[in-house]
Amino acid sequence: MFNNFTLQNPVKVIFGKGSIAQLPKNIPANAKVMLTYGGGSIFSNGVHEQVINALTGYDVIEFGGIEANPTFETLMAAVEVARKEHVTFLLAVGGGSVLDGTKFMSVAIPFEGGDEWNNIVKRKAKYGEALPIGAVMTLPATGSEMNSIAVISKKETDEKFGMGHPLLYPQFSILDPETTYSLPKRQVANGVADAFTHVMEQYLTYPVGAEIQDRFAEGILQTLISVGQKTIANPEDYEARANLFWAATVALNGWISVGVPQDWATHQIGHELTALHGIDHARSLAIILPHLMRYKLEDKKEKMIQYALRVWELSGTDEELVEGAIQRTIDFYESLGIPTSGKAYGIGDATINEIVKRFEERGSAFGEHGDIDAKAASDILKMSIAE
Amino acid sequence: MFNNFTLQNPVKVIFGKGSIAQLPKNIPANAKVMLTYGGGSIFSNGVHEQVINALTGYDVIEFGGIEANPTFETLMAAVEVARKEHVTFLLAVGGGSVLDGTKFMSVAIPFEGGDEWNNIVKRKAKYGEALPIGAVMTLPATGSEMNSIAVISKKETDEKFGMGHPLLYPQFSILDPETTYSLPKRQVANGVADAFTHVMEQYLTYPVGAEIQDRFAEGILQTLISVGQKTIANPEDYEARANLFWAATVALNGWISVGVPQDWATHQIGHELTALHGIDHARSLAIILPHLMRYKLEDKKEKMIQYALRVWELSGTDEELVEGAIQRTIDFYESLGIPTSGKAYGIGDATINEIVKRFEERGSAFGEHGDIDAKAASDILKMSIAE
């Protein structure tokens, strides 16, 4: 049955072409701003210039080089600078990794307890306060722009953990679809696959009769199917870009997760593949989800049939619908140029054994029934390299 | 094309059975609370007792008797009491009318400029501050629980106006589907029709390629069609009640209106019918919408076809689909026991002439193209009484 829930999402979304110009309305004039960014694409696509122009008159320092799968080590270097420079406002400019890293920084900068990996990322300490964050997002994918989640990696130990807390909501996020025109095709494809999988984690569990949440989830999946290929084929299709950006945002902003069970085992196993193998986040998900669907076929049967009927508009017997659901999911990832076989990424027994060891050590158990443990993860990973 | 938009909705929604017990977590302990309510159904359905139990230890005064289509006259009496008693927190307990009225009060109580009808309802003055509002909603219908809109009527002049301002968002809204079990069938039916029409006002215009917004709107319509009858037939079906409550909330909380054109001419004409004839709000909408659909058939053709295909799953030629769209809309209202002919409500030439006069005096022009003026309203109203 429809579960009780609380929903409050305070993020101000500023959406559309030219919206970077609205920055000064949303950052206090006397702020000491730290602009954080990633590999430097914001210089080649003109976004850095737009941001700096909008921030004329502000006291701004910059910190670049935040990686995809942002690392604790890099972020702590940024935290040191921000502390020394008495930064009062963080402006993340880039994709979900930059914003995730900046969310961590917002809590770490004023934190005085030390050991930020355990205390903040692993949530051993109670969060005290956080610096305000604004974002100029340039990549539709993670949904970080409208949620309170951040995923941080540690180079030293090849670990990757998610943190979530209401203090991590950005105050505002600016999404201008035109800033995404110049993204490499691989990043666009990854973004589509990431958003698609986010929806599946919140949708493909078991039915609780939550009709709005199901319809919304199905609508996002249909939109991603409709615009994914279009965006890759025609990078300057504003409408497709806008739909993709908004789809990625609402895929993980709390609107479809209220009152329903959630899975997230695909992400938990996928995070290990990224941590150990450096596989792109979205690709790690594409390796796991279709095999997890087959592994949990009985538990997920009702929702798989609904998914086949409503999202893919298939018809047939229950068995045909379930098979069709799995095959269409595989085909969708592959149509984006993303292989779904673990073999394609060189995953072998050594990786699987390490993941099993980690899950056992941590006593991990994920999924909507809490039964995706070390053994289940191992079975799913073995299925992924069997093909 | 997908329009630029800004979205920020700070309301905390607390949803599910037993959630009234969460009141003390959400109201400051030292608050002077004014509990506002309507006709007294909160006494017979146990909600008043639940609220008072939850507020043990608080300083609470009560103001009852806020009408359906809350009147300026009644509300100003409540404002006087609240000013005298130095109320610091308003808790609306009831349906959308109670909450709408309380929203007006929240701005009126601290307002010192006088003439609250013109200054606050008609927005002639700049809003200064507002008292914080919480809501315990007991009627799925208006969506007031998660938006910043209020509609206020004036007895003296038979007028009805909508006001909207970010200060009018409640801080929190508690929605317990069980509190709706005892609603009269007529109110439930009206709520379903009201929510349905809210979606149609934001959806049935012209396409701008906003796929998420369209899919979400269609999903709400499908949910209302699915649970409307079920709720009326079996009042204690928790799942149907929960779906109806959540559908009514998301029908008018800003999620489906971002970036798309909106109509609202049905509401504007309907408000006049309520003001002049005392027709239930939802019923006034059912009189107008189907005839407005036929009147604007050419302008709305593309969306009507999409609506017929996706929401009603019809097939046929474009003409058949458009006809089917209108007929299914009529059938839906009628299936809820709500007549769609103006004749059934005794509307005649005198009413139409008065509405034309008002529209002319105000220079009214509504609809997504701004062309529903006095003449158009007259034509639509005449169509509604021709059958």
Task: List, for residues B145-194, the tens digit of each pLDDT value.
Answer: 999 999 999 999 988 899 999 999 999 999 999 999 999 999 999 999 99
- Residue intervals of chain B classified under CATH 3.40.50.1970 are 12-179
As a dihedral over the C-alpha atoms of residue A151, residue A156, residue A158, residue A163, rounded to 10 degrees, the angle is -20
Q: For residue A182, which amino acid is it?
A: S
B226 contacts in chain A (CB < 8 Å) = 211
In CATH, the architecture of B12-179 is 3-Layer(aba) Sandwich (3.40)
Burial label for A184, CB within 10 Å (0-12, 13-18, 19+), is exposed
- The closest CB to that of A16, out of B4, B13, B246, belongs to B4
Residue B20 has a pLDDT of: 98
Optimal mutation site among A6, A20, A212, A223, interface B, most CBs of chain B within 10 A:
A212
- Asked whether the beta carbons of residue B2 and residue A218 sit closer than 8 angstroms, the reply is no
Cα(A180)–Cα(A185) distance, integer angstroms: 11
Structure tokens at B48: 């008043």
Nearest CA in chain A to B16: A4
B43 in contact with A, Cβ within 8 Å: no
Contact by Cβ (8 Å): B101, B70? yes
Q: In what side-by-side order are the strands of the sheet with B133-137?
A: A59-63, A32-36, A89-94, A133-137, A172-175, A5-15, B5-15, B172-175, B133-137, B89-94, B32-36, B59-63
- Asked whether the beta carbons of residue B8 and residue A8 sit closer than 8 angstroms, the reply is no
CATH of B184-386, one of 2.70.50.60, 1.20.1090.10, 2.160.10.10, 3.40.47.10: 1.20.1090.10
A157 in contact with B, Cβ within 8 Å: no
Packing angle of the helix pair A318-335, A281-295 (nearest 10 deg): 170
Question: Within a 10 A sphere around the Cβ of A337, how many other Cβ atoms?
Answer: 13
B307 in contact with A, Cβ within 8 Å: no
A53 in contact with B, Cβ within 8 Å: no
B246 contacts in chain A (CB < 8 Å) = 210, 212, 259
A238 in contact with B, Cβ within 8 Å: yes
Burial label for A331, CB within 10 Å (0-12, 13-18, 19+), is middle
Structure tokens at B373: 């003026």
A6 contacts in chain B (CB < 8 Å) = 12-15
Contact by Cβ (8 Å): A196, A178? no
Nearest CA in chain A to B12: A8
Q: Cα(first)–Cα(last) distance of chain A, in Å?
A: 38
- Asked whether the beta carbons of residue B250 and residue A212 sit closer than 8 angstroms, the reply is yes
Report DSSP state, residue A71.
B
* Chain B nearest C-alpha distance from A254 (Å): 12
Contact by Cβ (8 Å): B190, B281? yes
Residue among B267, B276, B266 at smallest CA distance from B300: B266
Nearest CA in chain B to A225: B211
Structure tokens at B58: 């608080």
- The closest CB to that of A6, out of B14, B209, B212, belongs to B14
* Chain A nearest C-alpha distance from B308 (Å): 16
Phi-psi label, residue A123: left if phi above 0, alpha if psi -120 to 50, beta otherwise: left
Cα(A289)–Cα(A307) distance, integer angstroms: 14
Residue A2 has a pLDDT of: 83
Packing angle of the helix pair A185-203, A281-295 (nearest 10 deg): 40
Residue B120 has a pLDDT of: 96
Nearest CA in chain B to A5: B15
Contact by Cβ (8 Å): A372, A271? no
Contact by Cβ (8 Å): B9, B253? yes
- Residue intervals of chain B classified under CATH 1.20.1090.10 are 184-386
* Chain B nearest C-alpha distance from A355 (Å): 37
A10 in contact with B, Cβ within 8 Å: yes
- Asked whether the beta carbons of residue A2 and residue B258 sit closer than 8 angstroms, the reply is no
Strands A5-15 and B5-15: antiparallel
Cα(B353)–Cα(B87) distance, integer angstroms: 44
Contact by Cβ (8 Å): B326, B294? yes
Optimal mutation site among B212, B213, B238, B309, interface A, most CBs of chain A within 10 A:
B212
- The closest CB to that of A220, out of B15, B209, B212, belongs to B212
Cα(A9)–Cα(B378) distance, integer angstroms: 43
Contact by Cβ (8 Å): A206, A300? yes
Structure tokens at A306: 């609904």
- DSSP for B284-297 reads HHHHHHHHHHHHTT
- Asked whether the beta carbons of residue B242 and residue A2 sit closer than 8 angstroms, the reply is yes
Burial label for A121, CB within 10 Å (0-12, 13-18, 19+), is buried
- Asked whether the beta carbons of residue B12 and residue A8 sit closer than 8 angstroms, the reply is yes
Cα(A330)–Cα(A327) distance, integer angstroms: 5
Cα(A167)–Cα(A123) distance, integer angstroms: 13
Question: Within a 10 A sphere around the Cβ of B155, how many other Cβ atoms?
Answer: 13
- Asked whether the beta carbons of residue B4 and residue A11 sit closer than 8 angstroms, the reply is no
B238 in contact with A, Cβ within 8 Å: yes
| Per-residue model confidence as pLDDT tens for chain B (387 residues) | 689 999 999 999 999 999 999 999 999 999 999 999 999 899 999 999 999 999 999 999 999 999 999 999 999 999 999 999 999 999 999 999 999 999 999 999 999 999 999 999 999 999 989 999 999 999 999 999 999 999 999 999 988 899 999 999 999 999 999 999 999 999 999 999 999 999 999 999 999 999 999 999 999 999 999 999 999 999 999 999 999 999 999 999 999 999 999 999 999 999 999 999 999 999 999 999 999 999 999 999 999 999 999 999 999 999 999 999 999 999 999 999 999 999 999 999 999 999 999 999 999 899 999 999 999 999 999 999 997
Contact by Cβ (8 Å): A204, A322? no
B216 in contact with A, Cβ within 8 Å: yes
A335 in contact with B, Cβ within 8 Å: no
| Per-residue model confidence as pLDDT tens for chain A (387 residues) | 689 999 999 999 999 999 999 999 999 999 999 999 999 899 999 999 999 999 999 999 999 999 999 999 999 999 999 999 999 999 999 999 999 999 999 999 999 999 999 999 999 999 989 999 999 999 999 999 999 999 999 999 988 899 999 999 999 999 999 999 999 999 999 999 999 999 999 999 999 999 999 999 999 999 999 999 999 999 999 999 999 999 999 999 999 999 999 999 999 999 999 999 999 999 999 999 999 999 999 999 999 999 999 999 999 999 999 999 999 999 999 999 999 999 999 999 999 999 999 999 999 899 999 999 999 999 999 999 997
- Asked whether the beta carbons of residue B246 and residue A212 sit closer than 8 angstroms, the reply is yes
Structure tokens at B93: 């307990």
- Asked whether the beta carbons of residue B4 and residue A15 sit closer than 8 angstroms, the reply is yes
Phi–psi pair at B306, nearest 5 degrees: -60, -45
Provide, for chain B, the percentages of residues in helix, strand and coil under a 3-state DSSP scheme, each rounded to the nearest 5. Answer: 55, 15, 35
- Asked whether the beta carbons of residue A259 and residue B242 sit closer than 8 angstroms, the reply is yes
B351 in contact with A, Cβ within 8 Å: no
- DSSP for B244-293 reads HHHHHHHTTSSTTTTTS----HHHHHHHHHHHHH---HHHHHHHHHHHHH
Q: Cα(first)–Cα(last) distance of chain B, in Å?
A: 38
Structure tokens at A343: 């073999």
Three-state SS at B346: coil
- The closest CB to that of B15, out of A19, A216, A259, belongs to A259
Residue B172 has a pLDDT of: 98
A203 contacts in chain B (CB < 8 Å) = none
How many interface pairs between A and B have CB atoms less than 8 angstroms apart? 129
Residue among A304, A323, A324 at smallest CA distance from A314: A324
A6 in contact with B, Cβ within 8 Å: yes
Report DSSP state, residue B175.
E
Residue B128 has a pLDDT of: 87
